[in-house]
Amino acid sequence: MKYIYYVLLLSGLCILLIRRDKVDRRLLLFAPLLFFAIITEISVDTWQSVFVYHIYQGIECTLLCAYYYLLIRRGPFKRWILLAWLAYLCYFTAFFIRFPHRFYHYDPIDFVVEDVFVTIFSLYYLVDLYRSDEEVRISNHPHFWIASGNLLFYAGSSLFMGLAFTLMTQNKTWYNELGNIVKFLNLVLYFIYIKAFLCRSPEKALA
pLDDT tens sequence across 21-66: 999 999 999 999 999 999 999 999 998 888 999 999 999 999 999 9
The residue range of the domain holding 48 is: 2-201
**Any domain includes 16:** yes
Give residue 85's pLDDT band: very low, low, confident or very high (50, 70, 90): very high
**Any domain includes 69:** yes
| Averaged confidence pLDDT in the chain | 90
The pLDDT, as a whole number, for residue 197 is 97
Range in 30-44, 77-91, 175-189 with the lowest mean pLDDT: 175-189
Residue 58 CB coordination number (10 Å): 16
Q: How far is CA 21 from CA 7, 32, 134, 138, 177, in A?
A: 23, 16, 24, 21, 42
Are 156 and 207 in contact by the 8 Å Cβ rule? The answer is: no
Kindly state the average pLDDT of the residues 123-132. Answer: 92
The pLDDT, as a whole number, for residue 201 is 67
d(CA 9, CA 125): 25
Residues written for the chain = 207
Q: Is the pLDDT confidence value at 19 over 80?
A: yes
Q: How far is CA 4 from CA 47, 184, 194, in A?
A: 21, 10, 14
Q: Is the pLDDT confidence value at 192 over 60?
A: yes
**Any domain includes 59:** yes
What pTM was computed for the model? 0.92
**Any domain includes 206:** no
**Any domain includes 57:** yes
Q: If you average pLDDT over each of 2-16, 122-136, 154-168, which comes out highest?
A: 2-16
Q: Is the pLDDT confidence value at 143 over 70?
A: yes
Backbone angles phi, psi at 37, to 5 degrees: -65, -40
Burial class, 189, CB count within 10 angstroms (exposed 0-12 / middle 13-18 / buried 19+): buried
Give residue 149's pLDDT band: very low, low, confident or very high (50, 70, 90): very high
The count of domains in the chain is: 1
Q: If you average pLDDT over each of 55-64, 73-82, 159-168, which comes out highest?
A: 55-64
Are 23 and 197 in contact by the 8 Å Cβ rule? The answer is: yes
Q: Is the pLDDT confidence value at 87 over 50?
A: yes
d(CA 16, CA 164): 33
**Any domain includes 207:** no
Of 38, 153, 84, the C-alpha closest to 92 is: 84
Q: Is the pLDDT confidence value at 203 over 60?
A: no
Dihedral (C-alpha) 170, 172, 176, 182: value to the nearest 10 degrees?
A: 20
**Angle 109-131/75-98 helices, nearest 10 degrees?**
170
What separation, in Å, do the N-terminal and C-terminal C-alpha atoms of the chain show?
40
> HSE-up of 169 (CA within 13 Å, CB side)?
6
The pLDDT, as a whole number, for residue 49 is 86
Give residue 167's pLDDT band: very low, low, confident or very high (50, 70, 90): confident
Q: Is the pLDDT confidence value at 206 over 50?
A: no
